[in-house]
């Protein structure tokens, strides 16, 4: 789904050339999808303006300085788009902050996929509500915000990284 509105992006070519690339693995699609096997109810969350939810290290703030045509100097207090390691840093932060719920809420950059099934006499809906409550408590604690317009709750099937995942398994996303 396309984002609406403006985003400020600066070409940090010189800073990026001097930056050592992060050695952070990308989450594996097969691991995420395999973790959803046997689940029967699903939700998907999109973290709103992902990079802007990560504070810059104070010593790095001056490195983000940008001058405007009007002569103003701006420094980013949150991680801006355009930094070489921003995607890896964001993904590493989200993965770390949500590590206690990864068994039922794996993340892929700014996407979180929640999946549940009936367990120990609790219905799939009861389990899913419990999973969502635990995830939301963590998000509240760590000040992570979701874009409600892009979230899906309590579905039988959701879009996951180019696939449709549901209680009947996985298939290619035709859209």
Residues 59, 141: Cα–Cα separation, whole Å:
25
80-111 pLDDT tens trace: 888 999 999 999 999 999 999 999 999 999 99
Secondary structure (3-state) at 85: coil
Query: What does the alpha-carbon distance between residue 53 and residue 58 come to, in Å, rounded to a whole number?
Result: 15
pLDDT tens digits along 60-81: 999 999 888 899 998 999 998 8
Rounded CA gap, 49 and 134, in Å? 22
C-alpha torsion sign, points 30, 38, 95, 86: positive
Q: What is the pLDDT of residue 5?
A: 66
Distance (Å, whole) CA 91 – CA 64: 20
Number of neighbouring beta carbons within 10 Å of residue 65 = 12
Q: Quick one: pLDDT band at residue 2, thresholds 50, 70, 90?
A: very low
DSSP 122-165: B-HHHHHHHHHHHHHHHHHHHT--B-GGG-EEEESEEEETTEEE
Q: Which domains does the chain possess?
A: 25-51+86-172 (3.30.70.270)
pLDDT digits (tens, 9 = 90+) for 117-143: 999 999 999 999 999 999 999 999 999
Beta bridge mates, 46: 111
Q: Count CB neighbours of 32 within 10 A.
A: 20
User: Is the model's pLDDT at 1 over the cut of 70?
Assistant: no
């Amino acid at each position: 789904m396309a984002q609406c509105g403006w985003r400020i992006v600066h070409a940090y070519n010189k800073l990026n050339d001097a930056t050592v690339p992060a050695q952070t693995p990308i989450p594996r699609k097969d691991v995420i999808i395999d973790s959803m096997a046997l689940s029967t109810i699903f939700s998907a969350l999109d973290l709103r303006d992902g990079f802007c939810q990560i504070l810059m290290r104070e010593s790095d703030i001056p490195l983000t300085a940008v001058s405007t045509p009007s002569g103003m100097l701006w420094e980013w207090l949150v991680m801006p788009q355009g930094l070489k390691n921003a995607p890896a840093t964001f993904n590493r932060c989200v993965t770390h902050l949500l590590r206690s719920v990864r068994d039922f809420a794996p993340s892929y950059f700014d996407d979180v996929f929640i999946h549940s099934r009936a367990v120990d006499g609790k219905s799939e809906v009861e389990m899913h509500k419990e999973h969502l409550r635990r995830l939301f408590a963590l998000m509240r604690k760590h000040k992570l915000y979701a874009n409600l317009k892009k979230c899906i709750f309590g579905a039988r099937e959701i879009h996951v990284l180019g696939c449709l995942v549901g209680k009947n398994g996985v298939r290619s996303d035709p859209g």
